Amino acid sequence: MKGIAHFLTGVTAASFFPWSIEQALDGNPVYFVLGGAFGLLPDTIDFKFYRFFYPHDVYIEPVPSDSHPQPIADRIAEAMATALREQRVIRVKLGTIRLGADRWRQYRLRFDAERREVQVQFGPTVTTGQMPIPGTTPSTPLVARAPLPAPVIQTYDAETTVDILDGPTFGLEPESGERIVLHFLPWHRNWSHSLLVGAFFAALAVLAGAWRAGMVIFVAYAGHLLEDQLGFMGSNLFFPLTRRRFPGAHMMRSGDTLPNFLTVWTCCLLIFWNLYRRTPDPLVSIGFFKFLFYAGVLPLLIMLVIRRLTRRGAPRPPERVDTSKEWSDPLIS
């Protein structure tokens, strides 16, 4: 989910507690502020702090003048061989290729488990807005291949796109001395995305004498984590008791438009309803299910019909996995 969806999830969580609305009616929205802040906090920790302190063992910095991606593929294979030889996790940081003030060379990385090789291919030159510049797409793109020293187990998508600003990190973890487990962005959704960490923040509030705030904090924090579990990457839900991320449900991606829109819209409806049902003498009287139908189900059905009519007869573009948004800043993207 994007930052706005997580923020509103936290605010929605706060709206279910009667004391949040009572305080807001008295002019003190502190519980709503806490809900929004702690609904956003797990990603804030990762993207604004932890990523800059995460240690890396191998930095792969492609040279802009290189016309062939083979050095990138070779370095990845070498890092994997090191992980296998030393029987420890090797953290590989992939750098971006900056060509100018607003020019970046895109490249794609793919781990082919069947052929047991890593493939790297240069793409077009893109702007900082990730828009391809006309005439820069290679007519016959070169594909660099490097054999891998062991079978790989992929915990995320096989293909990763690297283009602007900051590149991704892979954790190469040897398992049973015979294969390598690939961890995409090992610094993300790790310890910060734990229910026990959320409970810790809530406990601090309780110890400070604000048990109501503690309840809001925990529910808002947990709401963020449960939303993330709908995606591909999953979260380390019980750190420090566990050390690995639990796999996600693979139902959506963090940048998908429709799930983010539906989450934001649903949160707005729930916030409105929670405020409405505690408003004395409302101007209009309406039941919950009637409200849900007219404000939620009916607009969704109309939107789906319009979407279907506008797409009828249009050729469906080939689907390509794009993970470039997975490590971009969720607060601004």
pLDDT of 142-160, one tens digit each?
Answer: 899 999 999 999 888 889 9
Residue-wise pLDDT for 228-268, tens only, equals 999 888 899 999 999 889 988 888 888 888 899 999 999 99
Which residues contact residue 271 at a Cβ distance below 8 angstroms, ignoring those fewer than 6 apart? 8, 11, 12, 15
Range of the domain at 114: 58-184
**Residues 24 and 111 reside in one and the same domain:** no
Q: Among residues 77, 99, 73, which one has the least CA distance to residue 163?
A: 99
Whether residue 28 is contained in a domain is answered as: yes
**For residue 332, is it within any domain?**
no
Longest dimension (CA), the chain: 72
Residue 25: pLDDT band (50, 70, 90) is confident
> Of 159, 184, 209, which residue is a domain's last?
184
Q: Is the pLDDT of residue 104 over 50?
A: yes
Which residue among 184, 215, 247 closes a domain?
A: 184
Domain count, the chain: 2
Q: Are residues 112 and 139 in the same domain?
A: yes
| Residue 276 token pair | 């409405």
Final residue in a domain of this structure, among 184, 210, 226:
184
Asked if pLDDT for residue 333 goes beyond 60, the answer is: no
Choose between 314 and 277: higher pLDDT: 277
Closest CA to 258 of 266, 250, 269: 266
Alpha-carbon gap, residue 325 to 328, rounded angstroms? 5
**To which residue do tokens 């689907």 refer?**
319
In a domain, 132, yes or no: yes
Q: Flag whether pLDDT at 29 surpasses 70.
A: yes
What is the C-alpha to C-alpha distance for residues 226 and 263, in angstroms, rounded to an integer?
Answer: 13
Q: Which residues pair with 50 in a beta bridge?
A: none
Pairing of strands 159-162, 152-154: unpaired
